[in-house]
Structure 1
Amino acid sequence: MIDPADLPALHASYGGLWLRDDGQTRALAKGQAIARAAETPVLLLNAPLAGQRLGYPELNGLDLLELWAFVHPARFLVPTAKGLAQALDLAPPIDEADIPALLQQATAVLLDRLGAADWAEREGGWTAAQSLHRLRWPWAPLVAPRIAKPREAERWLFSRLPEWDEAAPRPAPRTIAMEGDAVLAQLDRLTGTTAETRPGQRAYAAAAIDVFRPRRHRDQPNMLLAEAGTGIGKTLGYLAPASLWAAQAQGTVWISTYTKALQRQLDRESLRLFPDPATAAKRVVVRKGRENYLCLLNLEDALQGGFSGRAAILAQLVARWAAYSKDGDMVGGDLPGWLPTLFRRNGSTALTDRRGECIYAGCPHYRKCFIERAARASADADIVIANHALVMINAARGRETGQRPQRIVFDEGHHLFDAADSTFSVALSGQEAIELRRWIIGPEGGSRGRRRGLAARLSDLASYDEEGGNAIRAASEAARALPADEWLKRIVAGEPFGPLEELLAAVRGTVYARAADTGEADAGYGLETELAEPDGTLVEAAQEAALALDALLRPLSRLSGRLEAVIEDAPDWLDGAARARIEGAVVSLSWRRDLLSAWLGLLARIGGPADPDFVDWLAVDRIEGREFDIGIHRHWLDPTRPLAQTVLAPAQGVLVTSATLRGGGEWDNAEKRSGAVHLPRGAERFEAASPFDYPGRAEVLIVTDIKRGDIAALSGAYARLIEAAGGGTLGLFTAIRRLRAVHARIADRLARSGLPLYAQHVDPIDTGTLVDIFRDDPRSSLLGTDALRDGVDVPGHSLRLVVMEGVPWSKPTVLHAARKLAGGGNAYDDRLIRARLAQAFGRLIRRTEDRGCFVILSAAMPSRLLSAFPPGTPIRRLTLDEAIITVSAQAHRDSLGGVLPLGHQGSESGNADLERE
């Protein structure tokens, strides 16, 4: 067998290139490194990232991340040299030149584990190695000989997965009254006897009890808005009454988040409730949308030849993971976030149910389905950890009525408005319409895949019920009026086919005609225009499209009626599996009928009166000038109205909580953006300020000498600030284009100083993994956009400087303009900006001993927005050179372990008027 020490190892970074071969490590030029990697397989760590650093994106080799995914599927790993060393108990590299030697050592350790008697993930390994050898996986010649062939044939993955069982519906929760002393005792059990007592946390837990008391009014829930500053410990604060109520009432509490990071954190915290992992898995269930989970039927198709090349290798590694996964969650679960990115475009999206293809009980793996298992487990769980979108969609579509959440905790409650805005919106676009066509008709022409149309999914109904069969055929025929494959090419070429494509062509023509007046058409960004004063061509096209959609809606409605009748008649062929499949079809038909009805309402607006409750506009979606969709959009002017009606009002108790719930404003802002304003009696309020010493441990620096739009100056400012801090910097941008421009200018410079720089939308790494890398290396820095402004928890020395490129003004969209007009003009804008600033500042101080600077590179920072920062936080306006001195002095104090306050003489309070005229 090959000795790992004989394999050459290559490390590529912005700081240089190093190759270890024949026991020697030497630096290489780019051309030499590319030539060596092309002529013989070399050991690498994250081949796509190394290829990007080399300027050779097709770089391949022996990627240790792929080997890790085979040897230890479903185990966490920070995908860096340091992370790999820590996971394997090896000495971490001192500098980058030591990394190639580490790669050789790590390879030896991982390969040796394949022959170890205590290799925990042995089952299925031999079979997977043989399959990967046939697929020419680069690691296969080293892996396969080291795995002993089992005495008995290994079972296939699908026979090893456990089945879920049907269970009787859970009774309604008991009506109980919890005592405050009992809740505080539960809090003490969760925090531990040695934990420091937090008065704010105890007050928070006591206030949350009201959400779990019997509902007082028939027309609204017991609702509490609770702003708990960072460091209060609100997670355990609401888990204490929630877990106690669930145990005593025998009911389920839904905890809803906005970010996957908080979902993972809550899942970890559940071990405080149930220290035994097996018990925790039953009592605490994580729920997400279907598109997050591995579809076993898609995986089977991929393993049996549906994928080829690198994508087939990914499918085999995902199958290894599926056998050991906790819940089959591919997005934010225990599948390493970096794994799909190793396969570039041959990613994992085809392995999830992203296109509404699920055939429910018609699937051979239905009783082992991860999605169905999670749905059933949540019915008997004490705590269900979900997300805002899932809670709202289930309520809006009437799914799982027996499990409709009655006690809900909306954590990250400041995002409720945005989640509702997305959930209750409507878009009649080319992409949405062609998906509906495919769902009804199935595969057409040369299209591949297992997509099945209505006729194939309900063939037994068509043979049993003549009226149902006629409805299926009528729907399939009417669906041909929807856009077909290559619809966008035809529209761009001026050759639309069918009434819906004619409508989209008219929309495109209107958008471009109006954009020409503003000069936006050549900017390369997406284009939009208000749906007002439509011309005759657009009105006529809308009328023809409405007739086509109505012709489709009618047979779908008849089909729904026939399916419901079949369930009632219970014919001989309707066994349990068939019943479940038809019930699934009824649900799918229901929400697609709702979609068609919403489209018809939107088309009625064209040429008709405007509805004051909605904002309608036309859009052409583009990326760098390339069109990818065209459509008509409708959003609620106030999306918390349907939120209050469909989600809040039917519940028994609702807690909406966040560290920045008011967004740096007044309580009426929280009332409006949570939906409480639409309930007859509003909501109770609770507030607990953060216990952190912001005046002594944080400082806001507003840099006044960076000219807006000067990319060179902006880049220089970021580089100098990161160097002054010695890394540990989170850089936030409002535009991807500027982020990329700054990264391109400063990455090499920082790497030469030993300061790694990572960037969202640049590095071929998912956002969650980027944060893991940033958290693990105190000298690294991370650039990103809105996704990094919220939900990023990096306590300690790894994050000591936050830099914003400027004031995060809202984009001047049609929707924003309408809401600004209705919400009080500039005051509406100010509330949004304060909320964003408060959220960004909240990334800086996450625990008592943290300290840091928050820098805004904009002289145009209005004083009226400074109330976004905690009271007493020092705020100074100064030049870049002065900011560099301040940041450098802080870094020096940290290196000495000093505890001097960050405030300086002359600093002014965050509430003071600092505007310089």
Structure 2
Amino acid sequence: MLEPNATPKSLPINRRPVLLAGFTEVIWLPGDSLLSDAVERLAPQAALQRARAAPPLLCHLPNTARRLRGERFPAYDLLELLAFVRPASFCLPTPRGLAEALGLPLPAAASPSDSLALQAPLLRQAARALLSELAATDRRRRRLIGLARYLEKAGWIWAPDVLRALQAGDFDGRAAPGIAVWEDLPEWSETAPEPAPASLPIEVEETRQYLAQLLAEGAEQRPQQADYATALVPAFTPRLEPDSPNLVLAEAGTGVGKTLGYLAPAGLWARKNQGPVWISTYTRHLQHQIDQELDRLYANPALKAGKVVIRKGRENYLCLLNLAEIAGNAAQPSLAIAAGLMARWVMATRDGDMVGGDLPGWLPDLIGLNRSQGFADRRGECIYAACPHYSRCFIERSVRRARKAEIVIANHALVMIQAALGPDEKQLPTRYVFDEGHHLFAAIDGAFAAHLTGQETLDLRRWLLGGEGGRSSRARGLKRRIEDLVLDDAGAIDLLQQSLDAARILASEGWHQRLIDGHPMGPTEVYLAAVRRQVLARAPSDGAGYTLETATLPLDERVTEAARVLDEAFAALQRPLRDLAGRLAKRLDEDADTLDTPMRLRIEALSRGLARRADMEIGAWRSMLESLRDGQALDAMAPDYVDWFALDRNDGRELDVGHYRHWLDPTKPFAEVVAKPAHGIVVTSATLTDGSGTAEAWAAAEMRTGAAHLPLPAMRARVASPFNYAVQTRVFIVTDIGRNEIDQVAAAYRSLFLAAGGGALGLFTAIARLREVHRRIAPALEQAGIDLLAQHVDAVETATLIDIFRGEIDACLLGTDAVRDGVDVPGRALRLIVFDRVPWPRPDLLHKARKAHFGGTAYDDQLTRLKLKQAFGRLVRRADDHGVFVLLDKAMPSRLLTAFPEGVTVERLGLAEVVRRTAEFLNPPVQPDTAPQTAISGGINLS
């Protein structure tokens, strides 16, 4: 939460103290002082007291406060000023990152311990540079002044400096426009529907020629890339039978040039057939990496803007109506400041994408993650054409751009959802490329699961009823979204009222505390209370404070009775919602000649949303409840589904409770609703198979991608990496530490990180161990001048942590699976990976069922080899990279070693020897060059 200024007037930059917080010491530079004569090293509590007395200049207030082990305090956060002066621009949220972004010289530390102290003056320099830049701007100055005055009224600490830099006094005689930045956005307009694409094939030779054309301007020529690109051609040929797509499974080793390799045939097909190819990824980083690669296909930015679009779910984009409502009704100063900074970003953003787009990843940290999410439509409350900002909406613009695009860069989740629910476009794509294919199974699993939990039912209640109980909520209920459409339809009004009345059986605000206190209200909370009781009674607990789960059977009788009552209540809610959806759909037919396009689209969206919640959400919940009323019925469903009860906890704090259902094999619905309607599909990754080289490895890949459920067999392609892993990497298994002895594990991480001189990624299979290791090794690394970043410790979003790690060449990063999957760090910034133990699958109930279904121990081995293979693949990203992979688990079975590339020798050694060899390999001694410099040819030194 941003804090308003505690002082009435801004002070000159040089008179403000500077605060930089490490893990063991804090640097404090008093106002009007230079580093050489006044820098002080304080304990965290002493620094916190000073900061509360005199707001300091600092970088990233939330993380600073966490390191000081206190609450946030008023401060001049340079990142807030940067968000105003340079919105929608990339900058690492560190003093060095600010200096690099602003072109300031970086001081050289005489010793590692001086590093933090020498960064302090950078913050004053950065503040002056940003305010000077603002003073020099002429573009949209009046709008900036109006926005700064809005922020000044909210108490933003930087507002006086900003207004002074903008010379706002010159505009006192004229009204400044204020925060209504949406008025300046261009409008989109409707166009005629696009025809279906043609089905012309592309040929192998023209694909090779097109790839060569794209690589013509100085790009590295890679024979493997051409082989890979042509292996994908069958996916871009016409299919021969309905529901029988041409599917290519393509494994391309790191360094092949996979992205451009599939963009070549995809772009060629799109141009030839005047239709889109959807490129789907799992991580947002890859979405934007693909976007950058597409500059080769569309060198003209204006042409690219019309041919390429990044698509995500609606919840990823800023909602202009939410922004306007928050800005106009912000009772809290910190919320108004958040609105002002988001409005400043709106003035500069490319497409309004808040998650992985050009919104600085650290800005949600500053304004609060929950607050930042409030600027997006995360609950499906869009009112479409009834919105005053509809014609400028970022989401609607991206949907319309996608209709005319040749390349749509989407993500796995959006592809699944739009295939299951119906697309925003009039027709589904016929060609897909699923990159990061090793994540496809997890994405499918999440998309086709059903969760009957407290949070899910509360979300549905909010969607239907909006804000309740006099609370200051902006939630827009169904009545507000629909009432103007049914004013003349008494039957629809009655169905609407029935729906709203029935919705009161859903969990409401405060449901979780009522369950803990034993006072549930209504049938949903009674059912959840019974489920919670059964979980607590039966689930084994290791005292770690994390999620508990138990099988549904045998049922506690109280669960059975509560399920019966809740099913009847859901039936009473489902009926009017379904009928109302049908009534709206009927209007589309009856009033087809009088409805304009925006109204038609609005009615269509509402009808689809109502049907989705009635049939897919409530319908799935009813199916789950009905199965509980008869244990035999639940057993009969076992071939398709896995049901269980769970109490979701984190660090001992309860978050949610409920009844969960997943497909035993989720690729079955994927094959039906996504794959079969398509004509051609590519699923690609560097780790489609587990590296074992067996026929079973390809069979497992086909199982995890849905190929096994399609009429035609998948075509397989594998292109090996061009890298010489035997020369460029080392793999060590440490044999003399106990993996359960946290002191020994921490000592190993510390010694290895110091031996590498940083540039290390520490991976963990449990958050608790990560935090304990961080606590133990942070002081030693700080003393050595090595920045230690940590997921689940730093008050920084994971993607931003990875950005910092990528940008700070000698930093170290601790993380779990999410970090491993998101890291793409070429060069010396990542030269060591340390894994705390063999990453066996988590033995939860869902995995237990799938293990029995998919092959027992062999299934465990496949998943574990894939994780090891994926982690190892982070080490070498380009031809001159070198790296070391260390596993701190002597119990690593030899049968899993095929996860590492052929030719790589895996050595089992003691920690001291691994540390020594790591240091030697990553930091070889420099040999003096004494050879005579005489052999010259063509002006190039060949000696």
Q: Same fold (TM over 0.5)?
A: yes
1: CA distance, partners of 2:763 / 2:778: 16
> Out of 655, 671, 675, which is 1:648 matched to?
675
What amino acid maps onto 1:602 in structure 2?
Answer: M
Taking the TM superposition and a 5 Å limit, the aligned residue runs for 1:479-878 are 479-515=503-539, 518-520=540-542, 522-570=543-591, 574-593=595-614, 594-608=616-630, 609=633, 610=635, 611=637, 612-665=639-692, 666-878=697-909
Please give the TM-score of this superposition, normalised by the length of structure 2: 0.92
Cα shift at 1:90: 1.1
1: CA distance, partners of 2:431 / 2:740: 49
Report the counterpart of residue 105 of structure 1 in structure 2. 125
Report the counterpart of residue 3 of structure 2 in structure 1. none
Cα shift at 1:346: 5.9
2: CA distance, partners of 1:807 / 1:147: 57
2: CA distance, partners of 1:438 / 1:3: 47
Query: SS at 2:195's partner residue?
Result: coil
Cα shift at 1:688: 0.3
Which range moves more in the overlay, 498-507 or 294-303? Answer: 498-507
- Does structure 1 residue 29 correspond to structure 2 residue 49? no
1: CA distance, partners of 2:27 / 2:597: 62
Cα shift at 1:15: 5.5
Query: SS at 1:206's partner residue?
Result: helix
Report the counterpart of residue 442 of structure 1 in structure 2. 466
Query: SS at 1:754's partner residue?
Result: coil
Cα shift at 1:571: 8.8
- Does structure 1 residue 81 correspond to structure 2 residue 90? no
Cα shift at 1:193: 3.9
Is the alpha carbon distance of 1:12 and 1:129 closer, same or farther for their aligned partners in structure 2, counting shifts above 3 Å?
Answer: same
2: CA distance, partners of 1:896 / 1:468: 84
1: CA distance, partners of 2:140 / 2:233: 44
2: CA distance, partners of 1:724 / 1:124: 53
Contact 2:399 2:425 in 1 (8 A): no
1: CA distance, partners of 2:49 / 2:452: 50
Q: Deviation per CA, 1:575-602, whole angstroms, max 9, x where unpaired? A: 5443332212101112101211111111
Query: Gaps (5+ residues) in structure 1?
Result: 899-917
What amino acid maps onto 1:323 in structure 2?
Answer: M
1: CA distance, partners of 2:881 / 2:292: 23
- Does structure 1 residue 70 correspond to structure 2 residue 84? yes
2: CA distance, partners of 1:483 / 1:198: 58
Report the counterpart of residue 4 of structure 1 in structure 2. 13
Cα shift at 1:121: 6.8
Cα shift at 1:123: 6.3
Report the counterpart of residue 935 of structure 2 in structure 1. none
Contact 1:16 1:27 in 2 (8 A): no
What amino acid maps onto 1:127 in structure 2?
Answer: G
> Out of 116, 120, 127, which is 2:146 matched to?
127
What amino acid maps onto 2:355 in structure 1?
Answer: V
Q: Deviation per CA, 1:846-872, whole angstroms, max 9, x where unpaired? A: 111001110000011000111111111
> Out of 107, 116, 121, which is 1:96 matched to?
116
Which range moves more in the overlay, 820-829 or 478-487? Answer: 478-487
> Out of 493, 517, 531, which is 1:469 matched to?
493
Contact 1:111 1:146 in 2 (8 A): yes
What amino acid maps onto 2:41 in structure 1?
Answer: L
Query: SS at 1:632's partner residue?
Result: strand
Query: SS at 2:649's partner residue?
Result: strand
Cα shift at 1:3: 4.3
2: CA distance, partners of 1:571 / 1:274: 40
Contact 1:736 1:761 in 2 (8 A): yes
Structure 1 vs Structure 2: percent identity of aligned residues? Answer: 49
2: CA distance, partners of 1:121 / 1:244: 41
2: CA distance, partners of 1:850 / 1:775: 14
> Out of 351, 357, 377, which is 1:353 matched to?
377
Count of paired positions: 894
Query: SS at 1:797's partner residue?
Result: coil
Report the counterpart of residue 13 of structure 1 in structure 2. 22
Is the alpha carbon distance of 1:537 and 1:889 closer, same or farther for their aligned partners in structure 2, counting shifts above 3 Å?
Answer: same
Contact 1:314 1:340 in 2 (8 A): no
What amino acid maps onto 2:558 in structure 1?
Answer: T
Cα shift at 1:307: 5.2
Query: SS at 1:562's partner residue?
Result: helix
Contact 1:617 1:632 in 2 (8 A): yes
- Does structure 1 residue 275 correspond to structure 2 residue 293? no
Report the counterpart of residue 60 of structure 1 in structure 2. 74
> Out of 216, 224, 229, which is 1:192 matched to?
216
- Does structure 1 residue 177 correspond to structure 2 residue 165? no
What amino acid maps onto 2:520 in structure 1?
Answer: P
1: CA distance, partners of 2:854 / 2:592: 57
- Does structure 1 residue 142 correspond to structure 2 residue 142? no
2: CA distance, partners of 1:90 / 1:438: 49
Query: SS at 2:135's partner residue?
Result: coil
Runs (4+) of structure 1 exceeding 6 A deviation are 894-898
2: CA distance, partners of 1:209 / 1:894: 48
Contact 2:430 2:678 in 1 (8 A): yes
Report the counterpart of residue 244 of structure 1 in structure 2. 268
Contact 1:534 1:607 in 2 (8 A): no
What amino acid maps onto 2:122 in structure 1?
Answer: L
Which range moves more in the overlay, 92-101 or 564-573? Answer: 564-573
Query: SS at 2:131's partner residue?
Result: helix
Cα shift at 1:897: 11
Contact 2:541 2:548 in 1 (8 A): no
1: CA distance, partners of 2:670 / 2:919: 48
Please give the TM-score of this superposition, normalised by the length of structure 1: 0.95
Is the alpha carbon distance of 1:90 and 1:304 closer, same or farther for their aligned partners in structure 2, counting shifts above 3 Å?
Answer: same
Contact 1:795 1:850 in 2 (8 A): yes
Contact 1:71 1:121 in 2 (8 A): no
Is the alpha carbon distance of 1:60 and 1:188 closer, same or farther for their aligned partners in structure 2, counting shifts above 3 Å?
Answer: farther
Contact 2:309 2:407 in 1 (8 A): yes
2: CA distance, partners of 1:797 / 1:337: 23
1: CA distance, partners of 2:747 / 2:198: 63
Is the alpha carbon distance of 1:778 and 1:460 closer, same or farther for their aligned partners in structure 2, counting shifts above 3 Å?
Answer: closer
Report the counterpart of residue 4 of structure 2 in structure 1. none
What amino acid maps onto 2:21 in structure 1?
Answer: A
Is the alpha carbon distance of 1:164 and 1:348 closer, same or farther for their aligned partners in structure 2, counting shifts above 3 Å?
Answer: same
Query: Gaps (5+ residues) in structure 2?
Result: 1-9, 109-114, 930-943
- Aligned-residue RMSD, C-alpha: 1.9
Cα shift at 1:796: 0.3
Which range moves more in the overlay, 807-816 or 37-46? Answer: 37-46
2: CA distance, partners of 1:472 / 1:225: 48
Report the counterpart of residue 288 of structure 1 in structure 2. 312
Contact 2:753 2:812 in 1 (8 A): yes
1: CA distance, partners of 2:560 / 2:278: 45
Cα shift at 1:137: 1.0
Query: SS at 1:635's partner residue?
Result: strand
Contact 2:243 2:678 in 1 (8 A): no
2: CA distance, partners of 1:357 / 1:554: 21
- Does structure 1 residue 418 correspond to structure 2 residue 442? yes
Is the alpha carbon distance of 1:615 and 1:794 closer, same or farther for their aligned partners in structure 2, counting shifts above 3 Å?
Answer: same
1: CA distance, partners of 2:544 / 2:748: 27
Cα shift at 1:194: 2.5
What amino acid maps onto 1:444 in structure 2?
Answer: E
Contact 2:16 2:56 in 1 (8 A): yes
Cα shift at 1:128: 1.2
Which range moves more in the overlay, 788-797 or 440-449? Answer: 440-449
